[in-house]
Structures are given as structure tokens and as C-alpha cells.
């Protein structure tokens, strides 16, 4: 008896569901920018349509028939060369249509690049109990395909690796917020991992101590006011940021100002220290000034290092009083010469005072204020006398 050998030929098959009349292969592939793709549209036998009657579209635009190939009566292929990055995060739509335009099947093409190493990782804390970090995309930035960024952190010498959970994005910058369970007096190691279907990359590790990255919101309630009738001075007052009131610290402040019609800010060289007020001197009379204040916490729990400067406060505007100009002419030239000599001597003396009182220095301004008030009153009185004499 001759034995009978059964040979089973395994032929690839496309399985159709009851709701699909055609299937595109590959389905939803990830591809590198510049690569080529050959896709096939396989028809269901029940459809009774020949593959030569089909056509393809990519993102709604019809693909040239020169890219087609009829593989079999039920299979039509298309070859795409030099693919560009996906135009949308959900992928580019490659669709197989019937002769009447009816959609038979579709596939999403994810064309992009592997992520590059994230850069510019910086972190800060507003109350020593939380931590915020942000970073920028590396290289060319956009990968054109869904990419996941994960901020990880751990205590430098011990501790379990953890992941940040509260993310936000904007303008190719990412950030993450850790609201609690932050340790003090022990350095952290922090880094960002970027992954997608085409590859992965990791940022450089940033090592930091929480006490060295404390910052605050900008000072609030910034007020700018005139100093009586003094035409070249303004006082600036502000409230300390509330975040650090329960922490042992000293805050130093910095002030900058500009003219109304100028875009150039002038920053006071000397920091104000732990004060919450300052007097600006040497200003132009009858001029509108915009003023801003920022804060830097220092001495957090005895640390010798300064924190991070806050953002500048919103600009606050105020104007200096207008200078009263004397009218020309005098009935008493001798008296005018005496007044001129007196003003010249006072100008020389108080020029020295103004030079040393410029900015927010700690020098007393009492004598200078008294002289300026007296001078302006004298000018007003003399102006009234001249007006009476001329009437």
C-alpha cells in the first residue's frame, strides 16, 4: 500500500470583518522622513470589483495613477517616495477609493523623526515644598509624530526613581510640576526622557539643591508716587511676596524704570536689600515713568546662596511734577545777580548731594528735600512778585 502524503500550502490571507469591504496594508505604520512606502488595498471577494477601477488619495489629494500597480484582480498597490513629515498629529490619511469615490479602506501614516536630546532643563521652587521644571525640544524640535516626554528625578545618593505627573506644553517648551514630597538639604538628580515609535533620547542630568532654586512671584501692589512738589523724584513701594512668609529668609529687590516714550529700561545697579520701598532721584521734571520691581530670596534656612530672580512686576506708571520756569526780566538787576550767584552755589553743593543720593541708597534725603522745597517756593514767590509788578 502506497502511503498518502498530504501537503498543506500556507497561503497568506487577508481577513475581512463583516463591516469591511477592503483592507489596507500596512495599517498605521511609523516611517522616517524621506523614506518610501508601498501599500496595498485588498478587496473583499464579495465586493465584485476589479482592482484596476480603484484609486488612492493622501490627505484628500488624489495620488497619480503612475504610482499604482495592479497586483491581482483584487489587490491594488501604491508606492510613495520621499515622504514628508506628517501634517497632523493624528497621522496622514492614505485612503483607497472605489470608482465612484466611495471610501473602501484607510490607513494613517505617521512620518517623522526620532526625538533628539531635550535641552535647557531648568527647575525652581516657590515655597521649598514643590518643584517646577521646564525644558526645550532638542535639535530641530518637531518630530511630526506623537512623542512622550517624561521628567524623572531621584535623590542623588539614595532614593527611588520617580516620575513627574503634571505636564503642560506650549511653544515647543514643556514643563512639569511636582506639588509635594520634596526633600531639603539633599541634592536631586533630574532628567527628561523622550520616546516615540522611531527612537528615544535622554537629556543631560541636572543636579540641584532645592534651597538654591527658590524663587517667588513678582512683588505685588507696586505703587509709584510723587515726593511732594519735588520735580525730580518718585517713591516706589511694594508688598513682599506671600509665598515665603513662613520661611526664614531675606529678600533682596531690584528696580528698573524707563521713560514713557522709551523702550530702554534702566536697572538700578545697587539692589534695594530687604526694604520694601525706594526713592528714585535725578529724574526729569514733568515726565511719565514706568517702574517695575523683582525679588530674589536669599538666606533660605541659612543657605549662603541666593535664589532665582522672580519675573518683573507689571509696569506701574507715575509722573514727576512739572518744573516752574521763571519769567525773563527783573526790576532789580542787582538782586537778580545775587539770586543767580546763590543758586549757582547751591547747585554746586547739592549736585554733590544728588550724586550720592542717586538710586535707592541709604543716605538721608531730609536736608536735600528741605532745600528743594524752599527753592521751589522761592521761585513761585518771585514769579508772583514779577507778575504783580508787570500788571
Single residue among 287, 319, 351 that ends a domain in this structure: 319
Write down the pLDDT at residue 50: 93
Establish if 199 belongs to a structural domain.
Answer: yes
- In this structure, what DSSP letter does residue 318 have? E
Establish if 1 belongs to a structural domain.
Answer: no
- Same domain? For 306 and 270 the reply is yes
- Same domain? For 280 and 296 the reply is yes
What's the Cα-to-Cα distance from 39 to each of 77, 98, 209, 357, 381, rounded to whole Å?
5, 16, 54, 79, 95
Establish if 369 belongs to a structural domain.
Answer: no
Establish if 17 belongs to a structural domain.
Answer: no
What's the Cα-to-Cα distance from 156 to each of 55, 189, 211, 214, 386, rounded to whole Å?
59, 5, 15, 19, 79
- Same domain? For 205 and 242 the reply is no
CB within 8 Å of 54: residues ≥ 6 apart: 41, 43, 76, 96, 97, 98, 99, 104
Q: In what order do the strands lie in the sheet with 103-112?
A: 30-32, 103-112, 92-97, 55-58, 61-62
Q: What is the pLDDT along the chain (391 residues), one digit of tens a residue?
A: 333 332 222 223 333 344 578 999 999 999 999 999 999 999 988 888 999 999 999 999 999 999 999 999 999 999 999 999 998 878 999 999 999 999 999 999 999 999 999 999 999 998 788 899 999 988 777 788 889 999 999 998 887 899 999 998 876 689 999 998 888 888 999 999 999 999 999 999 999 988 888 888 899 999 999 998 888 999 999 998 876 665 656 788 899 999 998 999 999 866 666 788 999 999 999 999 999 999 888 776 666 677 889 999 999 999 999 875 323 322 333 444 445 545 555 554 455 455 444 445 444 444 555 555 555 556 555 555 555 555 5
- Same domain? For 31 and 88 the reply is yes
Q: Are 173 and 135 in contact (CB under 8 A)?
A: yes
- Same domain? For 190 and 245 the reply is no
Q: Where are the alpha helices (DSSP H) in the chain?
A: 333-357, 366-390
- Same domain? For 228 and 159 the reply is no
Write down the pLDDT at residue 291: 96
Write down the pLDDT at residue 373: 57
Establish if 9 belongs to a structural domain.
Answer: no
Establish if 131 belongs to a structural domain.
Answer: yes
- Same domain? For 266 and 202 the reply is no
- In this structure, what DSSP letter does residue 383 have? H
Write down the pLDDT at residue 79: 96
Query: HSE-up of 168 (CA within 13 Å, CB side)?
Result: 6
Establish if 80 belongs to a structural domain.
Answer: yes
Write down the pLDDT at residue 335: 41
- Same domain? For 202 and 249 the reply is no
Split into its structural domains, the chain has a count of 3
- Same domain? For 241 and 155 the reply is no
Single residue among 319, 338, 358 that ends a domain in this structure: 319
- Same domain? For 54 and 105 the reply is yes
Write down the pLDDT at residue 351: 56
Quote the cell numbers at residue 368.
536735600
Write down the pLDDT at residue 7: 28
- Same domain? For 234 and 302 the reply is yes
Write down the pLDDT at residue 175: 93
pLDDT per residue over 10-26, tens digit each?
A: 223 333 344 578 999 99
- In this structure, what DSSP letter does residue 335 have? H
Single residue among 279, 304, 319 that ends a domain in this structure: 319
Which residue segment(s) compose the domain that 37 sits in? 22-112
Establish if 35 belongs to a structural domain.
Answer: yes
Cell numbers 518643584: residue: 131
CATH number at residue 238: 2.60.40.10
Q: What is the pTM of this model?
A: 0.65
Amino acid at each position: 500500500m502506497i502511503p498518502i502524503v498530504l501537503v498543506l500550502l500556507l497561503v497568506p490571507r487577508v481577513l475581512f470583518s463583516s463591516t469591511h469591504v477592503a483592507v489596507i496594508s500596512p495599517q498605521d505604520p511609523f516611517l522616517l522622513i524621506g523614506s518610501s512606502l508601498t501599500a496595498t488595498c485588498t478587496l473583499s471577494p464579495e465586493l465584485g470589483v476589479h482592482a484596476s477601477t480603484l484609486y488612492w488619495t493622501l490627505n484628500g489629494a488624489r495620488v497619480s495613477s503612475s504610482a499604482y500597480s495592479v497586483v491581482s484582480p483584487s489587490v491594488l498597490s501604491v508606492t510613495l517616495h520621499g515622504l514628508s513629515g506628517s501634517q497632523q498629529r493624528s497621522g496622514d490619511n492614505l485612503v483607497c477609493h472605489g470608482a465612484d469615490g466611495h471610501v473602501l479602506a484607510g490607513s494613517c501614516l505617521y512620518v517623522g523623526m526620532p526625538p533628539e536630546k531635550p535641552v535647557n532643563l531648568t527647575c525652581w521652587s516657590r515655597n521649598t515644598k514643590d518643584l517646577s521644571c521646564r525644558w526645550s525640544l532638542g535639535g530641530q524640535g518637531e518630530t511630526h509624530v506623537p512623542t512622550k516626554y517624561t521628567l524623572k528625578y531621584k535623590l542623588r545618593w539614595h532614593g527611588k526613581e520617580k516620575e513627574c505627573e503634571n505636564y503642560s506644553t506650549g511653544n515647543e517648551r514643556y514643563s512639569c510640576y511636582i506639588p509635594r514630597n520634596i526633600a531639603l538639604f539633599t541634592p536631586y538628580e533630574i532628567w527628561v526622557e523622550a520616546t516615540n515609535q522611531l527612537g528615544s533620547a535622554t537629556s543631560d542630568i541636572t543636579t540641584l539643591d532645592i534651597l538654591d532654586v527658590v524663587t517667588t512671584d513678582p512683588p505685588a501692589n507696586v505703587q509709584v508716587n510723587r515726593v511732594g512738589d519735588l520735580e525730580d523724584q518718585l517713591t516706589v513701594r511694594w508688598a513682599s511676596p506671600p509665598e515665603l512668609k513662613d520661611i526664614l529668609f531675606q529678600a533682596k529687590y531690584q528696580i528698573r524704570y524707563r521713560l514713557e516714550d522709551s523702550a530702554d529700561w534702566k536697572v538700578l545697579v545697587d539692589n534695594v536689600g530687604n526694604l520694601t520701598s525706594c526713592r528714585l532721584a535725578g529724574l526729569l521734571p514733568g515726565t511719565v515713568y514706568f517702574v517695575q520691581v523683582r525679588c530674589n530670596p536669599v538666606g533660605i534656612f541659612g543657605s549662603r546662596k541666593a535664589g532665582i530672580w522672580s519675573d518683573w512686576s507689571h509696569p506701574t506708571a507715575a509722573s514727576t511734577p512739572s518744573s516752574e520756569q521763571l519769567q525773563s526780566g527783573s526790576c532789580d538787576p542787582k538782586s537778580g545777580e545775587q539770586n543767580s550767584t546763590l543758586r549757582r552755589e547751591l547747585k554746586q553743593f547739592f549736585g554733590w548731594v544728588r550724586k550720592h543720593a542717586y538710586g535707592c541708597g541709604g543716605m538721608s534725603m531730609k536736608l536735600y528735600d528741605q532745600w528743594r522745597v524752599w527753592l521751589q517756593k522761592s521761585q513761585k514767590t518771585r514769579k508772583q512778585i514779577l507778575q504783580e509788578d508787570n500788571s
